[in-house]
Homo-oligomer: A and B are copies of this chain.
Amino acid sequence: MEAIDDGRLARGTRLPSTRAAQRVFGVSRNTLADVYDRLLNEGYVVMRRRSGTFVADKIPESPATHEPGDAPPYRLNPYWLRTDVQDAIHFWREPGADQPRAGQSPGIDLRAGQIDPRLFPIAVFRRAVSRQLRRLERMPPRNPSSQGNQGNYRLREAISRHIRITRAVVCRPDEVLVTSGAQQAFDLLARTLVTPGETTVALEDPGYPPLRAAFAAAAAKLVPVPVDQEGIRVDHLPRDVGVICVCPSHQFPLGVLMSEQRREQLVRFARAHKAVIVEDDYDGEFRHEGNPLQALRMRDCADVVFYVGTFSKCMLPSLRLGFIIAPRWALPALVTVKNYLDWHSPTPMQLGVAEFIAEGHLAQHVRKMRNIYAHRRERLHQILREDFSDCLEPVPSSYGLHICAFATGNMDANLVAASAVRQGVQLHSLERYYMAPGGRPGLIFGYGALDVSQIERGMKVLRDIIRR
């Protein structure tokens, strides 16, 4: 970008194809595709059909920022300006993302929560969207009304079939609400379930900061609850709790699977205290070890569990589609709030994903990715065993796209993570995920976005850092 900014690469210059650039620069095509994609997303280059990639004629101005001394003429809601809130909301922001520099390789992303978009069959998805838009040509969409705001019926039907197969969750399409991703589901649930200033919400600690932000924004009283090797410590739940948020399949970020006994205890507690449970099943499709425990919602507790699912992990995060399976008594209120937030999620996306699922492509993609992710996971486990057994103790888990490991010995996990980032390896220390002080330190290793050789390179950088 610097080369573009300072004019070394003239406006309108054609960039080499990733294949040609690979020969010149000697880096992988994936790395180059990442660089090109970043340039494109930020407007530094443009694609022209059948001609290639060119430096843009006009380049973007730097992003808007508060200039110091430039006092805003108006007092904004101070909640969003709080540092802790900003940190939670911009949780996935890469360090230095505000000042992208040329020459800096996109690096290796070892964070949790990432997937491998390179392997998504986007051509198949494109054709599904096209077919559905063609249908709309013959049958133009109606103006928005409250109908359809729960989500397109075909998509809700496809979702209920999909999670029956992958998660053994039995639900009817009319118990499904389509959302614009899991994040909107959290906001929607927080606004519906929390009476501001009154409701107490229990959160697993460590946990997912953007989920925490949703309940904090709704003015809930937040209570962090510790997690052990069987899941959330039900005996630590406050007695006045209204909402209990958990990830039973693959605790985020520890990776712990909630035990059968703990599940029973949790549901019993919720019922006894007239509380509800929010089950975040963000990567439940990717089960790597045979295990009879399925989603919490599978059990006979459809009356107290709000199950949140997403297509960000099993398809693509850029589609922004997710869903809630809700108790029937809560659905009218949830539909009202969804209606309020944005009427409904975009029809072409809903139709495209419905078609993609109905034609069996999602099941096929999940099967393929489960194998690929299992392979990466196996390699990562092997490296942790062989090269890091003196300083890292992996937390057992059977689902998902990341492994958490506690620090042992005298390794400083925060220092290691900070050094890694400086060397181009995106890595999160466990500390970022705790609410209460004094949490056990550790590191989180995501293998979603990386092939085996990238994992090996990233872990080698890490080993060198720790050895020093």
CB pair B153–A140 under 8 Å, yes or no, is: no
Query: Which of B37, B92, B173, B274 is close to A139, meaning CB atoms less than 8 Å apart?
Result: B37
Q: Are A41 and B140 in contact (CB under 8 A)?
A: no
Contact flag A73-B219 (CB < 8 Å), given A94-B145, A122-B136, A174-B61: no
Chain B residues near A123: list those with CB within 8 A. 134, 137
Stretch with Cβ within 8 A of B (4 or more), from A78-86, A252-260, A286-294: A78-86
Knowing A97-B146, A142-B38, the reply to whether A342 touches B184 (Cβ < 8 A) is yes
Cross-chain contact A137 with B126 (CB below 8 angstroms): yes
Indicate whether A348 sits within 8 Å of B129 (C-beta atoms), given known contacts A70-B329, A114-B143.
yes
Stretch of A5-13, A188-196, A406-414, A456-464 that contacts chain B: A188-196
A126 with B130: in contact, given A41-B142, A97-B146, A349-B348 (CB under 8 Å)?
Answer: yes
Cα distance A148–B113 in the bound complex, in angstroms = 18
Interface residues of A in 410-447 (CB under 8 A from B): none
Q: Is A23 an interface residue (CB 8 A)?
A: no
Which listed residue (B115, B138, B142, B187) contacts A341, Cβ 8 A?
Answer: B187
Tell me which residues from 316 to 347 in chain A have a Cβ below 8 Å from any Cβ of chain B.
Answer: 316-321, 328-333, 336-337, 339-347
A145 and B92 contacting across the interface, CB-CB below 8 Å: yes
From B65, B100, B320, B342, contact of A181 by CB (8 A): B342
Q: Which of A42-50, A222-230, A361-369, A375-383 contacts B (4 or more CB under 8 A)?
A: A42-50
A99 CB, nearest partner CB in chain B, Å: 11
| Chain B hits for A342, CB < 8 A | 180-181, 183-184, 187, 320
> Using a CB-CB cutoff of 8 Å, which residues 265-282 of chain A contact chain B?
271, 274-276
Please determine whether B77 and A131 come into contact, CB atoms closer than 8 angstroms. no
Task: Give, as a whole number of angstroms, the nearest-CB distance from A345 to chain B.
Answer: 7
Is A304 interfacial (CB-CB < 8 Å)? yes
A319 engages B304 (CB within 8 Å): no
With CB as the reference atom, state the residue of chain B lying closest to A191. B77
A195–B78 touching, CB < 8 Å: yes
**Quick check: is A400 within 8 A (CB to CB) of the other chain?**
no
CB under 8 Å from chain B, chain A span 101-121: 109, 113-115, 117-118, 120
In A186-227, which residues have CB < 8 Å from any B CB?
187, 191-196, 199, 210, 213-214, 217-219
Shortest Cβ distance from A47 into B: residue:
B135
Tell me the minimal C-beta distance from A117 to chain B in angstroms: 4
Q: How far is the CB of A451 from chain B (nearest CB, A)?
A: 13
- For residue A121, which residue of chain B has the nearest CB? B137
Judged by a CB distance under 8 angstroms, whether A147 is at the interface is yes
A144 and B318 contact, CB distance less than 8 A: yes
This chain: copies in complex: 2
Q: How far is the CB of A82 from chain B (nearest CB, A)?
A: 10
Shortest A352–chain B CB gap in Å is: 8
User: Are A196's CB and B219's CB within 8 A?
Assistant: yes
Contacting residues of chain A (61-93) with chain B, CB-CB under 8 angstroms: 61-66, 70, 72-81, 85-86, 89-90, 92-93
User: How many angstroms from the CA of A192 to the CA of B38 in the assembled complex?
Assistant: 29
With A137-B122, A148-B41 known as contacts, the answer to whether A174 contacts B336 (CB < 8 A) is no
Report the separation of the CA atoms of residues A369 and B118 in the bound assembly, to the nearest whole angstrom.
41
A157 close to chain B: CB less than 8 A: yes
Q: Are A150 and B63 in contact (CB under 8 A)?
A: yes
Contact, CB under 8 Å: A76 / B37: no
Q: How far does the Cβ of A72 sit from chain B's closest Cβ, in whole Å?
A: 4
Which residues of B lie under 8 Å from residue A117 when comparing CB positions? Answer: 140-143
**Closest B-chain residue to A118, C-beta based?**
B140
Q: Are A72 and B340 in contact (CB under 8 A)?
A: no
Q: Which B residue sits closest to A61, measured CB to CB?
A: B174
The residue of chain B having its C-beta at the shortest distance from the C-beta of A64 within the complex is: B331
Indicate if the CB atoms of A62 and B174 lie closer than 8 Å.
yes
A-B pairs, 10 with minimum CB distance: A43-B153, A318-B347, A93-B146, A126-B133, A64-B331, A117-B140, A72-B329, A320-B346, A141-B318, A184-B342
Beyond A74-B330, A141-B318, 6 additional pairs, beta carbon < 8 A: A114-B143, A117-B142, A125-B133, A144-B318, A180-B346, A213-B340
Can you sample 6 A-B contacts with CB below 8 Å? A72-B329, A80-B192, A92-B145, A117-B143, A143-B449, A320-B346
